[in-house]
Structures are given as structure tokens and as C-alpha cells.
Structure 1
Amino acid sequence: MNDDATRMPARDPQDLARLLVARQQAGDAEGMAALYAPDAILDIGSGQLARGRDAIRAFYAKLVMAGPKFELGDQRPAMINGDLALTSTRLPNGTVTVEIARRQGDGTWLWVIDQPSILP
């Protein structure tokens, strides 16, 4: 999927979660991975990390094929310090996500660390 509406860049760190959910619901694993920096890490459970955008893309490709659709939860306001931002969302099932985003040279934001499921 390469719809302009789902491939808009994150101009604010708060945009990242909304864009991730929209792209997952559209089945766009490539677009999901594009929200991460090339050197990002994603906790994929059981003590495993997806390292780098290619590994993150592969993980999301499997998830899109097999998993339920994501839902946007209650986003907490981003904590921004210079070019870094801490983002967090309480999902409808009660789990909490925690991510660190980095501002890019063009002013957009990409996640560099993603811990998608923390116990409530």
C-alpha cells in the first residue's frame, strides 16, 4: 500500500502512533517500518529485539498477515527534550507502550526504540 494519506511523515512525535495504527489497519508493513529510524530497535517479545528497519519490516509483515488490527489508545503527551521525545500510549487492553523518537534533519520524527507492551 502506498496511499499518500497513510504515508504522511510524522511532523510531531505524537503522530507516530496514529500513523502506525492507520498503516497496520491498511496492511502496510512497509509503511509501518518507515516510521522507524534505520538503526531502530523494537521489542518483539520473549526477550527478542528486531534490530534495524529491515528486521522491523519483516516482523510487521508477519503481524499484518496473522494478527488482529491495532487500535489507537489513550496517548500521553510526548515529553520532548531537544531532538528526542518519549511517547507513550495506554492501549484499550490496558497495556502501555513506551517509545523514544528522534527528530530528523528535515524536522520529521522517527522512532528509535519501541517497547510496545509494558504491563499496566
Structure 2
Amino acid sequence: MNDPTKGKPVYDPQQLEPLLISRQHAGDIEGMTALFESDAVIDCGGGRFVRGRDAIRRYYAEIVASGRKFATGEQRPALVCGDLALTSTRLPDGDVTSEVARRQDDGSWLWVIDRYCVT
């Protein structure tokens, strides 16, 4: 699948979640990893945390290799305060994701904290 957004900055924090899902479904591990700051942290559930792009890349490689697909849910409007944004999605099974994005110097957004539950 050709991603026309690949390599382009994300200027709306609301676009991070749909891009993550579309890139995951396409098996684009590098594209998924690119949505995070270099020292970002993901709460994987079960007491497992990954920090930094290398660890995030390995984590997403595991998910893609497993064949699991992220569900598309009801994305809540981003709550923006200055250079921070809280993004959130209610998944079809009722779980809720929450992420914190930070505005970068060029005005784009990247996630710094991601907490979700993979069922």
C-alpha cells in the first residue's frame, strides 16, 4: 500500500492515530515508529513498557509479525493545551487508548506517551 503521507510531518494531532493504524495494517514498521519522539514511551500492558525509537521499532515489528491488526475505534477530539495534546480512542471492545503528543519546533506533532491495550 502506498502511503502518500510517508515522510511528511503530521500537523494535526488527530491524524496520528489513523496514520498509526493504516501503517500497521500495511506492515510499515518504520512509518509507525516515525510517529513518536526519539525518547517516547509506550505502555504495552501487563507491566511492559518500551522506551525510545529502537525499542518501539522492535515492539511494532513483533506486532506486525504476529499478524494482529489494530482496531479502528471512535477517536475522541484531541485536547490541546499549548504544545501538548491528549489524544484518545474508544476501541470496539470498550477499551480506551490515551496518548500525549508534543508539538515539534516545525509545528508538527509526535507522540511522547502512548497507553493502550492490545486484545
| TM-score for the superposition, normalised by structure 2 | 0.91
The amino acid of 1:60's aligned partner reads: Y
- The offset of 1:4, in angstroms, is 4.4
- Segments of 5+ residues of structure 1 without an aligned counterpart are none
- The offset of 1:83, in angstroms, is 0.3
| TM-score for the superposition, normalised by structure 1 | 0.91
- Structure 2 CA distance for aligned equivalents of residues 99 and 78 of structure 1: 10
Change (3 A) 1:46 1:102: same
Q: CA RMSD in A?
A: 1.6
- Segments of 5+ residues of structure 2 without an aligned counterpart are none
Partners of 2:40 and 2:113 within 8 A in 1: yes
2:4 paired residue number? 5
Answer yes or no: is 1:26 the counterpart of 2:19. Answer: no
> Identity over aligned residues, as a percent?
60
- Structure 2 CA distance for aligned equivalents of residues 93 and 61 of structure 1: 24
Q: 1:117 aligns to what SS in structure 2?
A: coil
Stretches of 4+ aligned residues off by more than 2 angstroms = none
**How many residues end up aligned between the 2 structures?**
117
- Structure 2 CA distance for aligned equivalents of residues 27 and 101 of structure 1: 23
- Structure 1 CA distance for aligned equivalents of residues 25 and 5 of structure 2: 10
The amino acid of 1:31's aligned partner reads: G
